[in-house]
Chain A
């Protein structure tokens, strides 16, 4: 009987405890991120006062490197882990706020070009990843997860697909480890290639948004190139993220039919569940900015709030990457993922150059 139910702990206390548990990790994110900003500014100031032409290494790189050093030397104590895991929350908050820096017309134009390129990229990369998976004799569901992770949006897509296709936890861990390692490598390689090819900010941003898997790494790789590149990279990645529901739905139907001879009953509800809601927030803020709801100084403040949110994200990217954990996951999924990434990077680079005419018109 309902009356005899043991009363749960008071809900507010539970929420309070959960929030308190996040505080140490969030403070660490802020400290690491701010240390990166402080180092960048200190080097610039030193160069200016001593009239030296020192290379400008962005705070993004410092924050990630400091995080990597902590995570792979002393390690991150358990008390900090829950708060560090909020880096994805700050990333999404930052993306929504970034909407204030786009006019809706630009979003539709760049987003439209991105969607066409995304459709081509997803089709080719999924087909290629499945061929690779068969060649390397990976388990079919692990191949599916790697294909989803590398073609759409990294860890979020893998987590969404894991539930939808009823995959093993071990397969999901393999796929996530491979995607995270490759994301960390791409973060450093993409800006080098972009500079060596003298890519424009828009072209490079579009390439990073299409070619790198995880949204946090896309944002960081864009910010390492330029402010404009970061904006475009986030927009292209957001268009890619919007496709997650369709691809996961297709895989859910495929595996449900293959294993149980069933289909997915309510496709619209399924799509809504998997759709990344922060995309709607991004469009709403962009629409408000386009309608003139904010003054110029207010737009500047919103852009800076977005930067602060990203600062926490970049610190989290470094702090959550543990190379020892990644090594333990084995080589084959990594090799398949890496080969897939190289092909996707080359394919998307070709697509971006082909779309150059539309981008700069």
Chain B
């Protein structure tokens, strides 16, 4: 019978060997982070004016 503890390790190993992190930020979170960062730069005066 397979040991449940051992059976999980290869999966983790494969995941780590593939270089994939266990979790990822979603597209939405990245979009919100960029928008907030840009808003902060505008608010703090680092970005003075954005023309259109």
Contacts and interface: CB of A to CB of B under 8 A. Distances in A.
A1 B18 CA distance: 16
A288 B38 CA distance: 14
B28 A5 contact: no
Contacts of B19: 8-9, 11, 14
The SS class assigned to the B binding surface is helix
Interface in B1-52: 9, 13, 16-19, 21, 26-32, 34-36, 38-39, 42-43, 47-52
Contacts of B36: 96, 281, 284-285
B52 to A, nearest CB: 4
Nearest to A10: B19
A269 to B, nearest CB: 14
Interface in A300-341: 300-302, 304-305, 307-308
Contact of A97 (B27, B39, B43): B39
A284 B32 CA distance: 10
A213 B30 CA distance: 23
Contacts of A297: 49
A8 B17 contact: yes
Contacts of B30: 89
Contacts of B26: 277
B28 A285 contact: no
B51 A304 contact: yes
B39 to A, nearest CB: 6
Contacts of A1: 9
Q: Which of B19, B29, B35, B48 counts the most chain A CB atoms within 10 A?
A: B35
Q: Which of B9, B13, B28, B30 counts the most chain A CB atoms within 10 A?
A: B28
Contacts of B49: 297, 300-301
Contacts of A14: 19
The SS class assigned to the A binding surface is helix
Given A92-B27, A307-B52, A280 B13 contact: no
A290 interface: no
A5 B26 CA distance: 27
A337 B39 CA distance: 39
A304 B35 contact: no
B32 A97 contact: no
Interface residues on A, range: 35 or more
A97 B38 contact: yes
A294 B49 CA distance: 13
A8 B42 CA distance: 39
Contact of A278 (B32, B48, B50): B32
B39 A277 contact: no
5 contacts: A88-B27, A96-B36, A281-B35, A301-B48, A308-B50
A286 B30 CA distance: 18
Nearest to B18: A8
A56 to B, nearest CB: 16
B42 A93 contact: no
Contacts of A284: 32, 36
A32 B19 CA distance: 35
A88 B13 CA distance: 33
B19 to A, nearest CB: 4
Nearest to A275: B28
Interface in A1-60: 1-2, 5-9, 11, 14
A304 B9 contact: no
A194 interface: no
Contacts of A305: 38, 42, 50
A293 interface: yes
A6 B17 contact: yes
What 10 pairs between A and B have smallest CB-CB spacing? A281-B32, A92-B31, A8-B19, A96-B35, A277-B28, A301-B50, A304-B50, A304-B52, A93-B31, A278-B28
Given A2-B9, A100-B39, A297-B49, A277 B17 contact: no
A123 interface: no
